[in-house]
A = this chain, B = another copy of it.
Amino acid sequence: MKDLTARQQEILEFIEHHEWRNGFWPSIREIQERFDFRSTNAVMGHLRALERKGVLERIPGQARTFRINRPDDPDAVQMPEDATEVVDIPVVGAIAAGYPDRVESGGEIGRLQVDIASAGFSSRRRSFALQVRGESMVDAEIYDGDMVVIEPREAKDGDIVAALIDQETTLKRYIQKPGEPPYLKAENKFYPELHPVNELSIQGVAKAVVRSL
């Protein structure tokens, strides 16, 4: 593909950007306005050049009918190399007993995909997401309805963990001071629950919170 001039690149980017922002393509005169051209023909020249170089297609005579030939996938924004690994996470409401992967398929609410680079996950682990009920973690800024991504691993002091208490999975802060037995603590100063730790009951450590607004 021939190289684009700086100006042609600008035009192309504006067209792409307009579509991305508004959901539809710009008209010639909208491009003209953006670049303060005094003539629509300035735009026409650039469009012809872009078509000649094969990066752009149009349907003659029809309004706002662009088609951009992106080098890669036409629709998807191109993925940077470091973002190829994506964690695919089942979202579960409450886990009655056992591990989340033993939960029957009906217990799955939805799925969540989070890129490793942006959230720092290790993809190899069997992560899952848990929908929070109740106010027991409000002091850790986790609220009713939030989804918390859990990564199965051993907890260390200060971690927020998903733990099985009374046949139900709940979020608690894991406290382990040197020389003392560890315990679990709810992060709500109005309901300061404390629980002894059964090591087997800890299902994993919270790595991220996702909240729909």
- Of A15-23, A37-45, A180-188, the stretch lying at the interface with chain B is A15-23
Closest to A206 in B: B213
Among A23, A77, A125, A211: residue with most chain B CB under 10 A: A23
Asked if A125 meets B212 with Cβ closer than 8 Å, knowing A109-B118, A117-B111, A118-B110, the reply is no
Decide if A107 is an interface residue (CB 8 Å cutoff).
no
Whether A21 pairs with B101 at a CB distance below 8 angstroms is yes
- Residues on the B chain within 8 Å of A141, using CB: 141, 143, 211
Q: Majority SS of interface residues in chain A?
A: mixed
Decide if A207 is an interface residue (CB 8 Å cutoff).
yes
How many copies of this kind of chain does the complex include? 2
Asked if A152 meets B21 with Cβ closer than 8 Å, knowing A119-B210, A212-B208, the reply is yes
Within 8 A of B (CB), among A60-74: 62-67, 74
* Min CB gap A55→B, angstroms: 14
A to B CB contacts below 8 Å, 15 in the list: A21-B152, A23-B67, A24-B67, A63-B63, A63-B64, A74-B110, A76-B88, A77-B88, A77-B125, A86-B113, A111-B115, A112-B119, A118-B147, A160-B213, A207-B213
